[in-house]
Amino acid sequence: MLCCQVPEMPYSKAIVTSPATIANFGPGFDSFGLCLDRPRDRITVRRMAKGRHEVRVVGKYDIPTAPSKNTASYSAMKLAELCGCESVGFSMTIRKGMKPGSGLGSSAASSAGGAVAMAALLGIRDKEMILEAAAMGEELVAGSRHFDNVSAAIYGGFTVVSDQRTRTILQIRPPMFRIIVALPDISVETREAREILPEAISIDDAVCNVGWASGMLHAMIKRNARKIGTYLDDRIALPYRAKLVPGFEAVRSAAMSAGAYGVSIGGSGPAVFAISEGNADKIRRAMISAFRESAGLKADSFVTVPGTGTKVEELS
């Protein structure tokens, strides 16, 4: 018996890919999450001698390699701890597919990927346990244990954290639409973007958000992309966070003029995303120009669609 919930350790290597996500998705602060088809992180975990942990990061993004500071390895360790296997040793290689601090759930992709990879290695299938470990990884970076990005990364599609206390996650299969993402060349720390939010909001703002969030769910269930776009608004975080993204209003209005159904900020920003069913390249170019012309910012961009969640690509 290797550890209390794992009678034997069946595998020695797991490769997992883990997707970018858009948290909040308009009115669902800390509740809604949309999984993107791409970009994805790729995480390889190999079993090592008991108690040893090593992390290697490959690719162009610079993230911590200390096992207790890296969200992927930290979540893997937490998953092992949750199932009573804290002594398990592993080496982990991470190829980041997305820029950290961009508002596309980079830390969630790492933490969900790390937790799923370790679960695969240990033969654990308990999604609630995986979610809990992944959220601990999020907390390491963001300073708060929010479940919106990690839920969307683990379950895929559109997810709703319908009760944070009981970790109740609803899954909705979104219709097919285009998601056009513009990433200005600035970074926003989630921790900082949470600290600027007010302690309380007005009844008026709460009523607006409840209406929009309900409309969003109805539009998702009815699979109406145009309606989904109309509910991409928010009075809880967007008014404060828009100030951290120079040019946001100009980018929003350029995307709408080019045919977008709706525009918002991804998670804590600075990514700005639009949704549409057509005109994706026109919208993308309009967003890039608006960032340049209104704020002097260079922006990367891509077009994707809703995607499936974290995937075990190889297990041996």
Please indicate whether residue 190 is annotated as part of the active site. yes
What minimum distance in Å lies between the beta carbon of 108 and ligand HSE?
7
The secondary structure element, H or E, covering residue 211 is helix 203-222
Considering beta carbons, is residue 104 or 122 the nearer one to ligand HSE?
104
Q: What angle do the packed helices 71-82 and 106-122 form, to 10 degrees?
A: 40
Nearer to ligand HSE, 193 or 299 (CB): 193
Do β-strands 178-184 and 299-304 pair in parallel, antiparallel, or remain unpaired? antiparallel
Nearest C-alpha neighbor of 62 from the set 19, 96, 93: 96
**Could you give the count of Cα atoms lying within 13 Å of 227 in the half-sphere of its Cβ?**
15
- Residue 23, interface with ligand HSE (CB under 6 A)? yes
17, 21, 44, 138: the catalytic one is: 138
Report how far Cα 111 is from the mean position of its chain's Cα atoms.
Answer: 10
Min CB(216)–ligand HSE separation in Å: 15
Pick 46 or 270: Cβ nearer ligand HSE: 270
> Binding residue for ligand HSE (CB under 6 A) from 6, 19, 20, 24?
24
Ranges of H-type helices in 53-181: 71-82, 106-122, 127-142, 148-155
Q: State how far the Cα of 245 lies from the Cα of 266, in Å rounded to an integer.
A: 11
Is 234 a residue that touches ligand HSE (CB under 6 A)? no
194 binds ligand HSE (CB under 6 A): yes
Q: Which regions of 131-222 does DSSP assign to beta strands (E)?
A: 158-163, 168-172, 178-184
**Minimal CB distance residue for ligand HSE:** 267
Contacting range for ligand HSE; rule: CB under 6 A; set: 38-46, 94-102, 188-196, 244-252: 188-196
Is there a catalytic annotation at residue 139? no
Q: Does 277 bind ligand HSE (CB under 6 A)?
A: no
CB 16 within 8 A of CB 43: yes
* Choices 12-20, 112-120, 145-153, 271-279; region in contact with ligand HSE by CB under 6 A: 145-153
Least CB distance to ligand HSE at residue 24 (A): 5
Q: How far is CA 97 from CA 36, 61, 164, in A?
A: 12, 8, 28
- Among 21, 71, 190, 310, the one annotated catalytic: 190
CA-to-CA distance for 190 and 265, rounded, in angstroms?
Answer: 13
Least Å from the CB of residue 27 to ligand HSE: 12
Query: Which residues are CB-contacts of 222 (< 8 A; sequence separation ≥ 6)?
Result: none
- Give me the phi and psi of 296, to 5 degrees please: 65, 25
Q: How far is the CB of 266 from ligand HSE (least distance, A)?
A: 8
Task: Tell me if 310 contacts ligand HSE by CB under 6 A.
Answer: no
Q: Measured between alpha carbons, how far is residue 291 from residues 84, 271, 280 in Å? A: 49, 11, 17
What are the structure tokens assigned to 154, written together? 């683990």
Binder among 41, 132, 139, 148 for ligand HSE (CB under 6 A): 148
Q: Is 190 in the site for ligand HSE (CB under 6 A)?
A: yes
Q: Which of 110, 149, 264, 310 binds ligand HSE (CB under 6 A)?
A: 149
Q: Which is nearer to ligand HSE, 17 or 149 (CB)?
A: 149
Q: How many residues bind ligand HSE (CB under 6 A)?
A: 14
Nearer to ligand HSE, 70 or 264 (CB): 264
Catalytic residues, which ones?
138, 190
Note the residues at the interface with ligand HSE (CB under 6 A): 23-24, 29-30, 105, 146, 148-149, 190, 193-194, 237, 267-268
